[in-house]
Amino acid sequence: MAPPLLLLSDITLTLGGKPLLDRAQFGVSPGERLCLVGRNGSGKSTLLRIAAGELQADSGTRFLQPGTTLRYLPQEPDLSGFATTLDYVRAGLGPNDAEHRAPALLNELGLDGSEDPRRLSGGEARRAALARALAPSPDLLLLDEPTNHLDMPAIEWLERELRSLRSAIVMISHDRRLLETLSRSVVWLDRGVTRRLDQGFARFESWREEVLEQEERDLHKLDRQIAREEDWMRYGVTARRKRNVRRVGELAALRQARREANSASQTLKLDASAAGTSGKLVAVLEGVSKQYDGRPIVSNLDLRVLRGDRLGIVGANGAGKTTLLKLLTGQEQADSGEIQLGASLSAVTLDQQRRTLDDTATLADTLTGGGGDMVQVGDEKRHVIGYMKDFLFRPEQARTPVGVLSGGERARLMLACAMARPSNLLVLDEPTNDLDLETLDLLQDMLAAYPGTVLLVSHDRDFLDRVATSVIASRGVGQWIEYAGGYSDMVAQGGSLAGGAQEGIRGDAEPAKRKAASAPQPAKPAPRKMSFKDKHALEQLPAQMEAGEKEIARLRKRLDDPELYGRDPAGFTRATEALARAEEAQAALEERWLELEMMREAAEG
The predicted-structure confidence for 536-585, as pLDDT tens digits, reads as follows 788 888 888 888 888 888 888 888 777 777 788 788 788 888 888 887 88
Whether residues 257 and 301 fall in one domain: no
The pLDDT of 276-292, averaged and rounded, is 83
DSSP for 198-217?
Answer: SS-GGGHHHHHHHHHHHHHH
Whether residues 111 and 251 fall in one domain: no
Q: Write out the residue range of the structural domain in which residue 184 sits.
A: 6-205
Distances (CA, A) of 321 to 212, 317, 512, 551: 39, 8, 14, 36
Instruction: Give the 3-state secondary structure of 392-415.
Output: CCCHHHCCCEHHHCCHHHHHHHHH
Tell whether 518 is covered by a domain. no
The pLDDT of 132-160, averaged and rounded, is 91
Q: Side chain identity at 275, as an amino acid letter?
A: A
DSSP 3-state helix, strand, coil percentages of the chain (rounded to 5)? 45, 20, 35
Average pLDDT, the chain: 81
Interior/surface letters 178-217, b for 16+ CB within 10 angstroms, e for the rest: bbebbbbbbbbbbbbebeebeebbeebeeebeeeeeeeee
Whether residues 256 and 302 fall in one domain: no
Domain boundary among 460, 482, 513: 513
Tell whether 525 is covered by a domain. no
- The CA angle 274-358-272, to the nearest 5 degrees, is 15
Q: What is the total count of domains within the chain?
A: 4
Distances (CA, A) of 108 to 35, 63, 123, 178, 380: 25, 34, 14, 19, 53
Question: Do 285 and 339 contact (CB within 8 A), yes or no?
Answer: yes
The CATH number linked to 544 is 1.10.287
Tell whether 568 is covered by a domain. yes
Tell whether 211 is covered by a domain. no
Whether residues 497 and 451 fall in one domain: yes
Whether residues 226 and 195 fall in one domain: no
Whether residues 488 and 538 fall in one domain: no
Whether residues 184 and 153 fall in one domain: yes
pLDDT tens, residue by residue, 12-54: 998 766 788 999 999 999 999 999 998 877 889 999 999 999 9
Domain boundary among 175, 205, 235: 205
Whether residues 414 and 563 fall in one domain: no
Whether residues 480 and 543 fall in one domain: no
Tell whether 595 is covered by a domain. yes
Does the model's pTM come out above 0.85?
A: no
pLDDT tens, residue by residue, 305-345: 988 889 999 988 878 888 898 899 888 899 999 998 888 78
Distances (CA, A) of 258 to 36, 105, 255, 329, 420: 27, 52, 5, 49, 32
pLDDT tens, residue by residue, 450-508: 888 999 998 888 888 888 889 999 888 889 999 988 888 888 887 776 544 444 444 44
Q: Residue 492, SS3?
A: helix
State how far the Cα of 330 lies from the Cα of 334, in Å rounded to an integer: 9
Tell whether 523 is covered by a domain. no
Domain boundary among 156, 171, 205: 205
Tell whether 210 is covered by a domain. no
Band of pLDDT at residue 187, cut at 50, 70 and 90: very high
Whether residues 588 and 478 fall in one domain: no
CA atoms within 13 A on the CB side of 191: 9
pLDDT of residue 249: 61
Tell whether 522 is covered by a domain. no
State how far the Cα of 533 lies from the Cα of 406, in Å rounded to an integer: 57
pLDDT of residue 600: 76
Whether residues 242 and 150 fall in one domain: no
The CATH number linked to 297 is 3.40.50.300
pLDDT of residue 519: 42
pLDDT of residue 73: 94
Whether residues 162 and 105 fall in one domain: yes
